[in-house]
């Protein structure tokens, strides 16, 4: 009998910068949940990545609560800790070592071209002179996470595709230089790669929904908060063109959340003819959102009744991740010749010690 094929490893994750939102749900969480059965899922709580824009002492002090909230959100949407490894990035130091080695293989100007770096700097209120090296190197650290786990599939939102491209380039370049160590990862982008934000801040819907931008509908928001936030979205108006309807943030929510596709088409058709206005669209979106979010809220409440469980899940997952990380780091050091460099020094030193013990 042949052994069953090993499951492909999947790795993705979130920065613990705030509670997860609807953009996460449609951009990556649904894919993660759907792939749990036939993939070996690894979910990283990327606290080192949060340090790229939140490194002050009091911000680090908020991490225990933020990590707890992100993992609570993951479990609430249906991630099963029995089938998925959930781990804390800073608890796996071998990843920092790997990131340093990967940094040698990518030009700085390649990283400067990545638009998300500028976005993250803006959300954190940093001007060009204040962007830390760590933020520029964000995609390299992300590549280290992916390659450390030897992951093959990476379900991400649209903004993160450019980061996975860096991981692919680094894996290919490394393998060319030193031999085939890394599987080449592949990004998986959902049908809603970039959900816009809501207008709870000025022009919030002109940018992607982000934890750090303050324009999000959080998975833990109450039904009233969700309805109120949806009402901030303005449609393209009475004499809109079909293109304006298709590209408007309001109808992006219709596409993402109105489950009945015939109803979604009818809303667009009637909107163009002035038969339907923003209020009716808000109602349709809010009704389907409520159906989606109510069970998530209920699971969240159940999980809250078991204090300490979340932390236990993260500790178990991090211990597992550490083992794999050291195995990968050893392969990398071997392939690059760093292991034999060290071993050579040790052997020479041992030989010298032996020789000195010999009598004259």
On whether the CB atoms of residues 313 and 73 are closer than 8 A, the answer is: no
Contact pattern for ligand ATP over residues 155 through 174, marking x by CB under 6 A: -xx-xx--------------
Written as six digits, the tokens of 252 are 């992006």
321 binds ligand ATP (CB under 6 A): no
Residue 218 β-bridge partners: 21
Which two tokens mark 49?
Answer: 């990545």
Question: Which position among 9, 15, 229, 282 is part of the footprint of ligand ATP (CB under 6 A)?
Answer: 15
- Here's the x/- map for ligand ATP, 119-148, by CB under 6 A: it reads as -x--x-------------------------
Could you count the other beta carbons within 10 Å of the beta carbon of residue 191? 10
- Shortest gap between Cβ of 32 and ligand ATP (angstroms)? 10
CA distance 224 to 276: 23
**Stretch of 205-213, 234-242, 273-281, 316-324 contacting ligand ATP, by CB under 6 A:** 205-213
The span from the CA of 240 to the CA of 234, in Å, is 12
- In this structure, what token pair is assigned to residue 19? 């509670």
**With CB under 6 A as the contact rule, which of the stretches 141-149, 188-196, 312-320, 341-349 interacts with ligand ATP?**
188-196
What whole-number distance in Å separates Cα of residue 24 and Cα of residue 18?
Answer: 12
SS3 content of the chain, % helix, strand, coil (to 5): 60, 10, 30
Q: Which of 44, 195, 285, 332 binds ligand ATP (CB under 6 A)?
A: 195
Q: Verify binding: residue 150, ligand ATP, rule CB under 6 A.
A: no
CB of 236 to ligand ATP, least distance (A): 20
209 binds ligand ATP (CB under 6 A): yes
By CB under 6 A, is residue 228 in contact with ligand ATP?
Answer: no
Residues 6+ apart with CB under 8 A from 149: 9, 11, 42, 321, 324, 325, 328
Q: Least distance (Å) from ligand ATP to the CB of residue 145?
A: 12
Burial class (CB in 10 A: 0-12, 13-18, 19+), 343: exposed
Task: Tell which one of 194, 297, 326, 331 touches ligand ATP (CB under 6 A).
Answer: 194
- Specify the 3-state DSSP secondary structure of 130: helix
Cβ distance to ligand ATP smaller for residue 36 or 194: 194
210 binds ligand ATP (CB under 6 A): yes
Query: Which of residues 24 and 268 has its CB atom nearest to ligand ATP in the complex?
Result: 24
Q: Are strands 84-88 and 8-14 parallel, antiparallel or unpaired?
A: unpaired
* Distinct helix (H) and strand (E) counts, the chain: 18, 5
Query: In terms of Cα–Cα distance, which of 298, 210, 208, 292 is closest to 18?
Result: 210
Supply the minimum distance, in Å, between the C-beta of residue 95 and ligand ATP.
Answer: 17
As measured in angstroms, the least distance from the Cβ of 71 to ligand ATP is 13
Our CB check for ligand ATP shows the closer of 20 and 329 to be 20
Q: What are the beta bridge partners of residue 136?
A: none
Q: Which is nearer to ligand ATP, 53 or 328 (CB)?
A: 53
Shortest separation between residue 342's beta carbon and ligand ATP, angstroms: 37
User: Interface with ligand ATP includes 27 (CB under 6 A)?
Assistant: yes
Could you list the residues that contact ligand ATP (CB under 6 A)?
Answer: 12, 14-15, 17, 23-24, 27-28, 120, 123, 156-157, 159-160, 193-195, 208-213
């Amino acid at each position: 009998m042949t052994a069953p094929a090993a499951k492909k490893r999947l790795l993705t994750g979130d920065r613990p910068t705030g509670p997860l939102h609807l953009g996460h749900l449609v951009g990556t969480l649904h894919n993660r949940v759907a792939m749990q059965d036939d993939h070996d899922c690894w979910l990283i709580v990327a606290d080192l990545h949060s340090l790229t824009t939140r490194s002050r002492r009091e911000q680090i002090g908020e991490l225990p609560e933020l990590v707890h909230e992100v993992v609570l959100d993951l479990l609430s949407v249906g991630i099963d800790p029995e089938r998925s490894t959930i781990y804390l990035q800073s608890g796996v130091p071998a990843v920092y070592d790997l990131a340093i080695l990967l940094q040698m293989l990518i030009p700085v100007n390649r990283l400067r071209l990545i638009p998300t770096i500028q976005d993250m700097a803006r959300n954190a209120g940093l001007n060009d002179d204040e962007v830390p090296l760590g933020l520029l190197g964000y995609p390299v650290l992300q590549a280290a996470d992916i390659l450390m786990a030897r992951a093959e599939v990476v379900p991400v939102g649209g903004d993160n595709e450019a980061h996975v491209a860096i991981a692919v380039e680094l894996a290919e370049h490394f393998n060319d230089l030193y031999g085939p160590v890394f599987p080449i990862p592949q990004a998986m982008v959902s049908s809603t790669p970039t959900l816009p934000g809501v207008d709870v801040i000025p022009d919030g819907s002109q940018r992607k929904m982000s934890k750090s931008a303050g324009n999000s509908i959080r998975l833990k928001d109450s039904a009233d908060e969700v309805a109120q936030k949806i009402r901030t979205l303005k449609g393209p108006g009475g004499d809109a063109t079909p293109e304006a309807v298709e590209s408007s943030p309001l109808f992006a929510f219709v596409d993402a959340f109105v489950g009945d596709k015939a109803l979604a088409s009818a809303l667009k058709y009637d909107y163009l003819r002035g038969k339907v206005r923003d209020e009716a669209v808000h109602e349709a979106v809010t009704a389907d959102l409520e159906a989606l979010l109510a069970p998530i809220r209920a699971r969240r409440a159940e999980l809250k009744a078991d204090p300490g469980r979340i932390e236990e899940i993260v500790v178990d997952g991090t211990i597992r991740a550490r083992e794999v990380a050291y195995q990968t780091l050893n392969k990398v050091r071997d392939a690059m010749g760093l292991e034999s460099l060290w071993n050579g020094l040790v052997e020479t030193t041992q030989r010298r010690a032996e020789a000195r013990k010999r009598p004259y």
